[in-house]
Amino acid sequence: MSGSSQQQAPADGTTRGDGQAVSETTMDLFDLGRRASAARDQRWGRRATFVRSRQLLATGAWRGPRDATESYVERADLEALGRDGWAAAATAGVGLLVGGGEREAHEAALTTGARSLWRLAFRGGESTADRHHRVEELRTLVRGGLPLWGVMPTPEGEAEGIDTLHLVALLRLELPEIPHVVLDVAALGPRLAQMALGFGADELWAPIVSERALRLGGNANNPAMTRKEACVLIRGAGLSAFERTAPDEFREEPPQ
C-alpha cells in the first residue's frame, strides 16, 4: 500500500483497519485518497464496476429491465410490501436489500442468502466527532456479526465535494470488513461520483439504460447512464471499467 509517512494519533483514538491512525486534522486529503485507493486496488485491482439493476417498488411493481443482474429493494419500501416485507421481496426475487436503519431487516435478508448494502446517511459540514460516531456505529454493527456486502454514503441534502471525498476514503480505510464502497450517482451527481472513485470507492450505483435522452430541462437531473457513459466515468478516474455480472463476478468492458 502506498504512503509510509507516520501519522499522529487522533484525539478520539480513531484508527484505520490496518491499525494506523487516521485523523482529519493530521492527514492531507489527497494523501488520504492515495491510501484509500491503494486499499481498494489491493482488494479489487485497479478497476471499478457498474451493474444493471432493477428495483422492487413499494407498490410491488418493478422498475428496470427484466434481465437485470441485480434485483433490489429499498428498506424504506419494505413495510408497504406487507406484514413481512422482506419475505414478500424475497419471494419476488430480490437478492439485495439497500438502506440503513434497524439491523433487523438486514439480518432477515441475510438469513435468506441475500446481501445487504448499507446506506450511511451523512450531513455536509457535520463535526469530526459526529462523522466518526457514524462510522464507529457502522463498525460496531459489522464487528457485531452483520456481514454487509457494501456501504453507500448518502448525503442528507446536497453533497459537498471535499466532505464527501473524505468520508468515502474513511469508509474504505476504516471498514476493511465491508468489501464494497458504492457511489449513489443520483445523490452525488456524476462528477462527484467520478472524483470519489479516486478516493477508494469501487462501484457506481445508477440505472444503466441502453439509451438516454439529453440532460436538458426536466431531464437535467436524470441519474440514468448508458454502459458507455459509465465506462467513460470510470476510465476518466484512471481505472479499468468492469460490468458486475454477479455479486462478485465481473466482466471487463473493452474500450470503444
Could you report the per-residue pLDDT of 31-53, keeping only the tens digit for each?
999 999 999 999 999 999 999 99
The pLDDT, as a whole number, for residue 120 is 96
The pLDDT, as a whole number, for residue 123 is 87
Q: Are strands 62-63 and 53-56 parallel, antiparallel or unpaired?
A: antiparallel
Confidence of residue 151 (pLDDT cuts 50, 70, 90): very high
d(CA 63, CA 31): 40
Listed in sequence order, the residues at least 6 apart from 116 whose beta carbon sits closer than 8 Å to its beta carbon are: 96, 97, 106, 109, 110, 146, 147, 148, 149
Confidence of residue 224 (pLDDT cuts 50, 70, 90): confident
The pLDDT, as a whole number, for residue 83 is 81
In which residue are the cell numbers 419475505 written? 87
Average pLDDT, the chain: 86
Mean pLDDT of the region 77-103 = 93
| pTM for the predicted model, two decimal places | 0.86
Q: Which domains does the chain have, with CATH numbers?
A: 29-210+218-251 (3.20.20.70)
Does position 106 have pLDDT exceeding 80, yes or no? Answer: yes
Of 166, 165, 169, 171, the closest CA to residue 194 belongs to 165
d(CA 256, CA 249): 22
